[in-house]
Amino acid sequence: MKLSVMLEQLSTGMLKSMSIFFLTLIFSLPLGLLISFGRMSKNKILRTIMKVYISIMRGTPLMLQLLVVYFGPYYLFGMQIGGTYRFTAIILGFSLNYAAYFAEIYRSGIESMPVGQYEAARVLGYGKMQCFFCIIFPQVVKRILPSITNEVITLVKDTSLSFSLAYAEMFTIAKQIAAAQTTFVPFVVAAIFYYVFNLVVAVAMERIEKKLSYYH
């Protein structure tokens, strides 16, 4: 196989890895916030459910969760799963898992906010939503950014777990080429891709952090 063909194949895999990455972030970041609200809710039932959910998501391997999400509908409900569900299952599995981690990060940030900020907003007449989204959340974001960066970098590498559902992302394709051509080159390319991708993510997050460093 020519190197150019190999790179072409791997780059289609890259695109798929990146769509897993971005879609997971798009869904899991807001979902994580909702879960953290549930986790901190005054309603004991809701709070317990979210606690159990987070505990399961963090306590079992992501690969296993992907298998459950993909094959679960058949085993639980006897549903026939079609061709496009594979990708949906991957996004669903990743989002559900990462939302649990993000929820705990949000919670740590929200709970670390001094009560005075809420009180000041209340006395100034901010409603609950206004108080959260204008006053509390922006400060929470700054506080939790380093933890979020950690998770995001892990996510870049975790996209390779999609190979367990044989989705043709970067790593799956690298493995397939390696098998057919009995060569190590695709793995080297894959390693470079993941490293560079993460480098970009790290630099981007650092920029955001710097942007938020105007106050402390």
Partner 1 sequence: MKLLEMNHIKKEFDGLGVIHDISLSVDEGEILSIIGPSGSGKSTLLRCATMLEQIDGGEILYMGERAAYVDADGTRVYPKGEQAKKIHSYFGLVFQNFNLFPHYSVMKNITDAPIRIQKRGKEEVYREARELLAKMGLSDKENAYPCQLSGGQCQRVAIARALALNPKILFFDEPTSALDPELTGEVLKVIRSLAELNITMVIVTHEMSFARDISDRVIFMDKGVVALEGKPDEVFDADHARIREFLGKIQER
Partner 2 sequence: MKKKLVCVLLGSAMAVSVFGGTACMAEEAKTFTVGFDAEYPPYGYMDENGEYTGFDLELAQAVCELQGWELVKTPIDWDSKDMELNSGAIDCIWNGFTMNGREDEYTWSVPYVDNSQVIVVSEASGIADLAGLSGKIVGVQAGSAALELLSEGGDQAELAATFGTLQQFPDYNNAFVELQAGSIDAIAMDIGVAQYQLKQHEGYVILDEELNSEQYAIGFKLGNEELCNTVNESLQTLVENGTFGELAEKYELTDMVCLGAEAESETEAATEAVTE
Cβ-Cβ contacts under 8 Å for 155 (sequence gap 6 or more): 21, 24, 25, 94, 98
Q: Which does 204 bind (CB under 5 to 8 A by kind): partner 1, partner 2, none?
A: partner 2
**Cβ of residue 161: shortest distance to partner 2, in angstroms?**
11
Which one of 52, 120, 179, 196 is in contact with partner 2 (CB under 8 A)? 179
Return the sign of the alpha-carbon dihedral for residues 113, 27, 187, 165. positive
- Give long-range contacts, CB 8 A cutoff, 24+ apart: 2-11: 3/185, 6/177, 6/181, 6/185, 6/186, 6/189, 7/189, 9/173, 9/177, 10/170, 10/173, 10/174, 10/177, 10/186, 10/189, 10/190, 10/193
- Give yes or no for a contact between 94 and 26, defined as CB atoms under 8 angstroms apart: no
User: What mask of x and - would describe binding to partner 2 in positions 57 to 86, judged by CB under 8 A?
Assistant: ----------x---x-xxx---xxxxxxxx
Examine residue 136 and tell whether it contacts partner 2 (CB under 8 A).
no
Q: Which does 180 bind (CB under 5 to 8 A by kind): partner 1, partner 2, none?
A: partner 2
Examine residue 212 and tell whether it contacts partner 2 (CB under 8 A).
no
In this complex, which beta carbon is closest to partner 1, that of residue 35 or of residue 131? 131
Q: Which residues bind partner 2 (CB under 8 A)?
A: 1-2, 5-6, 8-9, 15, 18-19, 22-23, 25-26, 67, 71, 73-75, 79-87, 163-166, 168, 172-173, 175-180, 182, 184, 204, 207-208, 211
